[in-house]
Structure 1
Amino acid sequence: MSAPKPIVHVADSDAALASTVYDYVVERSAKAVKEHGFFSICLSGGSVAKLVGDGLWKKKNVDWPAWRVFFCDERHVNLDSEDSNYNALQDTFFAKVPIKPEHVYTINPKLTVEGAADDYTAKIRIVYPGSDIPKFDLMLLGMGPDGHTCSLFPGHPLLQEKTKIVASLSDSPKPPPARITLTLPVVNNAHCVMFIVMGSSKTGPAAKALDLNKSVDDDDMPPAGKVRLYHGELHWWMNQAAAAEYQVQQAKK
């Protein structure tokens, strides 16, 4: 069985990209709440956190109390650290919407990084009990200039992780080195994944990740390209700068 093709959206401006993403997140939220009474979303840091904080909180008619918020990855730092993905969203998003604090699932930085990963697995099991791979309603993923997503980096052994749903690493090539991350089996099991990719530094990795002629096991396939959902929707939202090389590829077909 082959994975469905990613749905690629190229926005004319960053503002148009943000508006479209906000609308789609609200649509997915309403769908999930109608189907099973809550909406599970996994957020990323960096440019994704900035986009969320810039305006998602302004959306109307959102059942915020039904949200269950997790993080695609997190740095093993205190929650008030400038490096914390949670902290990047605390004032810009969480403080502005009525999501219950107990429904925002953060790491416990007092534990070892390995312990924090195990503890985060237990927190996911609050919403998704049992031993099955959780099926999150939506993941908002970013991508680095090296093609990494979550804290899954090119050539790293965690790309081969098959059993854990949350893994730890202490050797991240991007500081800080100690982190926890959702694993590829979890990402690929989501109902919907949305990549949000902006900037010219991302254009080469984006084109490689979206090259469906390549196998996910190819040596030069970036981690973002290993996200191939079999039972969900995979979207890529890009601005013109990030999509430039991909558009050249498409024009040649």
Structure 2
Amino acid sequence: MCEATSGVSVSRLKKNLLSKISIPNNHVVAINPSLPVEEAADKYAERLRELFPGDNIPVFDLVILGIGPDGHTCSLFPDHPLLQEQSKIIAPISDSPKPPPKRITMTLPLLNAARCALFVVTGESKAAVLKDILEGHSENPLPAARVQPVKGEVHWLIDEAAASKLTIKVDRASL
């Protein structure tokens, strides 16, 4: 399963990642950028439902996510109404606070159905927000902190710079 992210083309993903692992081509699903966002979101959700027949919400084995300096993940931004979306698995966003303004995103119900969510976070510019996500106890948690798979787990792969403000214990890989 594949969703192209900003700056990463599906052709690059196929060449550099998917060609190295065994995934049938019909299981690689890309968003159609030539469609209006509402239609593209509906088509993408429809295709996911075809690949996961019988599941009300598709269950991914793994979703790989990042975070923005504001704590957003996917195109789920702080205080945005899409954080409250409960019925759609894929949603359009036409008023993104970050360019481009029109996007398509997985919703929290889809992300929280995954068996494993893996966040990859690098750089000191993410250190403060990472601390807030992992150590904060806000009544209004940042979007990335809301990714809590119901029957799965969350893992964080972070570099030293991103971890620099954490006060909690972190396991360090020995290389």
Identity %, equivalent residues: 46
Aligned to 2:35: 111
Q: Residues of 1 paired with 2:76 and 2:12: CA distance?
A: 20
Aligned length: 170
Matched, 1:120 2:40: no
SS at match of 2:164: helix
Q: Which residue of 2 aligns with 1:223?
A: 143
| Deviation >6 Å, runs of 4+ | none
| 1:127–1:178 distance in 2 versus 1, CA, 3 Å | same
1:101-250 counterparts in 2 under 5 A? 101-130=25-54, 132-211=56-135, 214-215=137-138, 218-219=139-140, 221-246=141-166, 248-249=167-168
- Could you list the runs of 5+ residues in structure 1 that have no partner in the other structure? 1-68, 76-82
Task: Give the secondary-structure state (helix, strand or coil) at the position aligned to 1:224.
Answer: helix
Higher relative contact order (CA 8 A, sep 6+): 1
Write the deviation string for residues 86-135 of structure 1: whole angstroms up to 9, x where unpaired. 25524322355553332210112232110000000111012212461111
TM-score calculated relative to the size of structure 2: 0.86
> TM-score w.r.t. structure 1 length?
0.61
CA contact (8 A) 1:136 1:189 kept: yes
Change (3 A) 1:237 1:127: same
Cα displacement (A) at 1:180: 0.7
Q: Distance in 1 between matches of 2:149 and 2:18?
A: 29
Query: Any gaps of 5 or more consecutive residues in structure 2?
Result: 171-175
- Compared CA separation, residues 155 and 184, structure 1 to 2 (3 A): same
Judged with a 3 Å threshold, the aligned counterparts in structure 2 of structure 1 residues 192 and 97 are, in CA distance, closer, same or farther, namely closer
C-alpha separation in 1, matches of 2:159 and 2:128: 13
Q: Supply the distance in 2 between the matched residues of 1:222 and 1:232 (Cα, whole angstroms).
A: 20
Does the 8 Å CA contact 1:74/1:181 hold for their aligned counterparts? no
Q: d(CA) in 2 for partners of 1:152 and 1:90?
A: 25
The 3 A distance-change label for structure 1 pair 198 and 74 is closer
Contact 2:27 2:51 survives alignment (8 Å): no
Asked whether the equivalents of residues 74 and 107 of structure 1 are also in contact (C-alpha less than 8 Å), the reply is no
Which amino acid counterpart does residue 122 of structure 2 have in structure 1? M
Moved more, 226-235 or 95-104: 95-104
